[in-house]
Amino acid sequence: MDDRHKTHLVDLIDEEPALVLDQMMDSLTAEFIDLEISKTALYNFVNKECKISLKRAHFHSVERNCLEKITARKEWVEKWMATDMDYMSNCVFIDEAAFHINMKRSIAWSKVGTRAVVKIPKTRAKTTTILGATCAFGVVNIKVRRPRVMPTSKKRKTVGSSGQAQTQSKGTVTGHYFNFISDTMDEMDKHPEIFKDNYLIMDNAPIHTNDDIKLLIESRGYRCVYLPPYSPELNPIEQFWSICKMILKDFISLPPRGKIYSINEGNYRYFDEPSKKYVDQVKQKYSARYVGSMVSDIHRTLLYGGIFGYPTDSKSKKGKLKILYEVFPMAFLIEQAGGKATTGTMDCLDLVPEHIHDRSGIWLGSKEDVENLEACYKA
């Protein structure tokens, strides 16, 4: 095979990257009637001579790569390069992303000749939406939003109704986004030496382009900028989401039950009665492991299952863990791994702190273990 075949294959694959070897051979033999080649030789030629390899596909909308959209992106970049905009010093990047427990890598290892099978939880994945704001210096603001199931009515369903539970919007709506933008600017206001006159950059999704959002941003002394359509590569926060999802995909799933409980029993006499009742039950069948470092104890819980507790008590009636910086992050990780996090009477991620340093108690870990704890509070 020579340069004629190489040119033909490169043009062919540029036009249709998803071709299989049989289709490449058909095209080659139709163009070059006297050519005879095996699949192995063709693969080696494509790989070594054409410098083309088989890899995981990234699917882009046809619109994204049309000349009109490419031109729009080019013009957007040229326009803002002529201003004082600098991604490394005066820009905050805002977006939202969806996460769920069943997110896994799209490729996996297996023995030659066998199918690569990745086991996922049988439970339906619960999607969690995260709104984020980042800049060159790090994360500016993060907010977690979960869909809530509305209680079903016990009344007979009316004609035309589905009889199913109603849910709030699973994604993010303009109101949520508006509040997040406001909260983000509150954080930025605390550091004027970094964020004064910054650009807030976001894509042109309908919930972002509401007139009230732009007015809010400009009224606070910041500048609102929308990216052109189909331009994720122009928003660096996409790299942040990519790293988050990569970590989540590699994360283990919690078993429904474990064999370890982790709690400071030195405070047992200060616990409320439901907590005492649960500790009395669980210590009969589980092993105690308590390091005294929340991160270490929860890391072990993620690896082996079980339950971790730092409940409220008579000494700390509101709890000792900060909701925003300790309870929320750990509760989110546990729930994304298929576990559960509770105060005993409500889900931790349903807490609504009124002040930045508000505190709470927490129980988290394997779902069934936490449900047993909740049963003690309901009894």
Q: Which of 288, 327, 323 is nearest to 306 (CA)?
A: 288
What is the pLDDT at residue 27? 87
108: confidence class by pLDDT, cuts 50, 70, 90: low
Q: Is the confidence at residue 322, as pLDDT, over 80?
A: yes
pLDDT at 166: 45
CA dist., res. 330 & res. 344, Å (int): 16
Give the chain's mean pLDDT. Answer: 84
Q: Which domains does the chain have, with CATH numbers?
A: 3-49 (no CATH), 62-103+123-148+169-249 (3.30.420.10), 260-378 (3.40.190.80)
Instruction: Give the model's pLDDT for residue 152.
Output: 47
* Rounded Cα distance, 257 and 340, in Å: 11
pLDDT recorded at residue 293:
87
**Per-residue pLDDT at 160:** 43
Q: Give the CA radius of gyration of the chain.
A: 27
Residue 164: pLDDT band with limits 50, 70, 90: very low
Q: Which residue has the tokens 């036009």?
A: 15
Q: What is the DSSP letter of 346?
A: S
**How large is the average pLDDT for residues 140-147?**
80
98: pLDDT strictly greater than 90? no
What is the mean pLDDT of the segment spanning 349-377?
94
With CA atoms as reference, report the closest residue to 319 among 362, 353, 347, 360. 360
Which of residues 147 and 193 earns the better pLDDT score?
Answer: 193
The conformation of residue 48, written as its DSSP 8-state character, comes to I
Which residue from 205, 207, 236, 240 is spatially nearest to 85, judged by alpha carbons? 236
Strands of the 287-288 sheet, one edge to the other: 287-288, 260-262, 307-310, 362-365, 340-342
Q: pLDDT per residue over 40-55, tens digit each?
A: 999 999 888 888 887 7
Sign of the CA dihedral 232, 236, 237, 242? positive
Name the phi and psi angles at 261, rounded to 5: -120, 145
Q: Return the minimum-mean-pLDDT range out of 5-19, 104-118, 302-316.
A: 104-118
Q: Confirm if 98 and 171 have CB atoms less than 8 A apart.
A: yes
- The C-alpha atoms of residue 215 and residue 220 are separated, in whole angstroms, by 9
CA distance 362 to 171: 27
* 58 touches 17 (CB < 8 A): no
Closest to 126 in 3D by CA, of 338, 333, 331, 269: 338
**Greater pLDDT, 371 or 239:** 371
What percentage of the chain exceeds 90 in pLDDT? 46
Residue 162: per-residue pLDDT: 45
Question: What value does the mean pLDDT take over residues 220-244?
Answer: 90
Q: How far apart are the first and last CA of the chain?
A: 79
Which residues are 128's β-sheet partners?
A: 99
- pLDDT of residue 83 exceeding 90, the answer is yes
| Least confident range of 105-109, 132-136, 183-187, 332-336 | 105-109
Question: How far apart are alpha carbons 22 and 26 in whole angstroms?
Answer: 6
This prediction has a pTM of: 0.50
Cβ pair 307, 282 in contact under 8 A: yes
- Residue 197 carries which side chain, given as an amino acid letter? D
